[in-house]
Amino acid sequence: MLSTFNALKSVYASREISMEDLDVLQQYDFIQFENRGISRSEKDCLLCEVRCEPFATFLTAITAAVFDSAEALRDLVRSTGLGLLEEKSDDTALLSFYSEDKMVEIIASVADDGRVSIDPEDLEVLPFFQVFLRVQH
């Protein structure tokens, strides 16, 4: 799912899309499409947000929680089915997860007591991208 979303992002992000493109995007059940109103830069277009909803929900959950251990976070990451990989590091104070295409990186901090947390600023990813949909007259 994440690799598909990142592939869609590389094709469509920050571009003007057609109604056919919109149909392609909406065929994916994990995609949420939201109209944000008339674009300031492209006056004849709607500014729309394409969101990977399960990934956005996952990111919100992991940044709001404190995990009892590194293994608890690993278990959660594995259970999502997002295909995130763990980067092995000599630094025991950090855990790092990334997508195979390297477009996603999540860095978690491990406290002295073993508890793990993720600061939203330690996320190298956005679970959405913007597109411009031309308004038909």
Other beta carbons within 10 Å of 136:
6
pLDDT of residue 92: 80
Q: Is 0.85 topped by the overall pTM?
A: no
Reduce the secondary structure of the chain to three states and give it as a string: CHHHHHHHHHHHCCCEECHHHHHHHHCCCCEEEEEEEECCCCCCEEEEEEEEHHHHHHHHHHHHCEECCHHHHHHHHHHCCCCCEEECCCCCCEEEEECCCCCCEEEEEECCCCCEECCHHHEECCCEEEEEEECCC
Which pLDDT score, from 0 to 100, does residue 2 have? 86
Question: Does residue 20 have a pLDDT over 80?
Answer: yes
Least confident stretch, 10-19, 25-34, 39-48, 123-132? 39-48
Looking at residue 137, its pLDDT comes to 54
- Summarize the confidence of residues 41-50 as an average pLDDT: 86
Percent of the chain residues past pLDDT 90, beyond the cut: 63
